[in-house]
Amino acid sequence: MHSHGIYEDEIIGKAYDRRLLLRFVRYLRPYLWIVATVLLILPLTTAAKLAQPWLIKLAIDNHIVKGDMAGLPVFAVYFLLLIVAESLLSFLEVWLLQYLGQRVMQDIRLELFAHVQRLSTSFFDRTPTGSLVTRLTSDVEVLGEMFAAGIITVVGDIMLLAGIIGVMLWMNLHLSLVTFAVLPFLIWIAFNFRRKMRSAFRQVRARLADLNTFLNESINGVSLIQLFNRQRREQEEFSRLNSSYRDANLPVITWDASLYASVEALSSVAVGLLIWYGAGEIIGGALTFGALVAFIQYIEKFFAPIRDLSAKYSVMQGAMAALERLFNLLDCREILPEAAPGNADPVSAEERTSPFILFKDVWFAYKEEDFVLKSFNLQLERGEKIALVGETGGGKTTVTRLLSRLYDVSQGSIELYGTDLREIPLATLRKKIGIVLQDPYLFTGTVEDNICLGDDHVRHNVRNAAKTVGADRFIERLANGYAEEVRERGNNFSAGERQLISFARAVAFDPEILVLDEATASVDSEAELLIQEGLKALMTGRTTIAVAHRLSTIRDADRIVVIHRGEKVEEGSHEQLIAAAGVYSRLYKLQFKE
């Protein structure tokens, strides 16, 4: 079952806020007009907030204390207008930031998905699917939360704080200094919490990726889990990962609550100091009652953005952890080197005398020096049909993967008409190769879309392709025919029907090279008989490489190549290899012994 190591996602080391933010800024460039609009709104919102306590001071000192109530309605109207202005400006600010966040998330997801599609197969061999899904979904959503929290309005919060400090110092220097005595403690708390919260958020993102990876594999393999009665073991493993995710969140909750509580406590201390010192100033005649009330209002407004900043700081720490992971994925350069797009198509140069396909002393290892193919040589001519046979894990499928350039050879070369595959643009090469796998993959959508893969240039070939391989017989019996919906992984079709659709897909794209990797292994004997004629038509005029364990399916191959432990040990027709009484002969007798 599951190995713990597979699900332990990487916890990235120390990163620098400035580096991450500067890199993130480029995603904002197309929407600078939104940022500029928000930045223009912020001073207006700040001015509306700063004016409110000052109006209250004037109303108290000039009217309420003096018993003159005549001018109060005017102050009330001004105060109401300030509140309405602040509300409207805040609404516009939040709406613009939310819109900006959605556009930026869309752009980042598009870039990530495009990058992931370019990564080499070796990257996916060792990277859990759940980890990638987490990066493309949850980690990007965290950036949306950053905008929802109004991270750009940090500028507005700083402006408000600066404005409040300036007004308070102007109103009463000594009272301001007493009030601000708590600020050193606040700065010390924020500085110390910063490092601890960053580490906690990294743990949360990593543990969430582990959980998603496990869920993806368990749900895909649920039938196997049920058949082998492994539900309890899976539940235990899920409980472990779920508990790990919960435990990773506890420090985040603790530090967040502690920071918020600390700000609240310091706010109360500041108000207490203000009342204690301000009362003495009023008694001494150095401070008016209206000024004290305004000071209390300003203190409340002073600590409100600090409380917001603490909450936004938590969101920012989550965003920093997410950005680390997103940029780590974008920085992955495991991409097969691409040939220059202007390179000629060697396959079209039929006048060349070089072999159509040539494996020259090919060595290949998936891991370091653990070679799967060793000094492998093979030559194919146009239109030739060869079969690769041998024990499981001997390197047969690896040959087809190297030909499709899912991997690059470790040593040696593979050539088409004398041109190294690495000098042929990948798109050009892969248009020439049609592959049918043992376990065909169907996408959600219609049957027609699964055959043409959404390519409108191929769509007109769909019905003829299905007819060629005999897939039309069951497709036309479907309720919606070629418009029938395919559920996830094609689970509303039998294994044989999925294989026939994949055969039709290969025919529709009309490849020059055909790779059949155990292509009939999932098809029952009756279905196999139905597609034999289609297969013959498909292989006519095409160079075909068939990987097979069922030796009965490759007896009519032009040549049979026997691969044993990564090396070519025999080559010839069926009759020649039987007469040689070697590896092939033993395999054949094992399968057909009486």
Average pLDDT, stretch 494-515?
85
CATH topology agreement for domains 343-431+542-594 and 433-510:
yes
Give 561-592 pLDDT, tens digit per residue: 999 888 889 898 888 888 888 888 888 777 76
Average pLDDT, stretch 542-549?
84
Calculate the average pLDDT of the chain: 80
Homologous superfamily assigned to 16-330: ABC transporter type 1, transmembrane domain (1.20.1560.10)
Which pLDDT does position 391 carry in this prediction? 82
Which pLDDT does position 525 carry in this prediction? 60
- Say if residue 363's pLDDT is above 90: yes
Check if the beta carbon of residue 583 is closer than 8 Å to that of residue 569.
Answer: yes
User: 343-431+542-594 in CATH: which number?
Assistant: 3.40.50.300
Residue 346's pLDDT band, with cuts at 50, 70 and 90, is low
More confident residue, 224 or 125: 125
Give the residue from 511, 349, 355 showing the smallest Cα distance to 432: 511
Domain ranges within the chain, ordered by starting residue: 16-330, 343-431+542-594, 433-510
Amino acid letter for position 543: T
Going by CATH, does the domain composed of 433-510 fall within 3.40.50.300? Answer: yes
Give CA–CA dist 561/385, Å, rounded: 11
Average pLDDT, stretch 158-177?
81
Check if the beta carbon of residue 504 is closer than 8 Å to that of residue 466.
Answer: yes
Map tokens 């991270």 to a residue.
151
More confident residue, 520 or 434: 434
Give 454-473 pLDDT, tens digit per residue: 888 889 888 988 888 888 88
- Say if residue 50's pLDDT is above 70: yes
Pairing of strands 419-420, 411-416: antiparallel
What pTM does this model have? 0.74
Residue 552's pLDDT band, with cuts at 50, 70 and 90, is low
Residue 182's pLDDT band, with cuts at 50, 70 and 90, is confident
- Say if residue 349's pLDDT is above 80: no
Residue 6's pLDDT band, with cuts at 50, 70 and 90, is very low
**C-alpha dihedral, 174 to 176 to 181 to 186, nearest 10°:** -170
Cβ neighbors of 153 (< 8 A, separation 6 or more) are: 38, 42, 93, 97
Which pLDDT does position 25 carry in this prediction? 84
- Say if residue 51's pLDDT is above 80: yes
Average pLDDT, stretch 411-427?
88
Which pLDDT does position 334 carry in this prediction? 84
Which pLDDT does position 13 carry in this prediction? 43
- What is the per-residue DSSP string for 244-284? HHHHHHHHHHHHHHHHHHHHHHHHHHHHHHHHHHHHHHHHT
Which pLDDT does position 361 carry in this prediction? 92
Which pLDDT does position 592 carry in this prediction? 66
- Say if residue 308's pLDDT is above 80: no
- Say if residue 12's pLDDT is above 60: no
H/E stretch holding 559 = strand 559-564
The dihedral through the CA atoms of 12, 15, 17, 20 has a sign that is negative
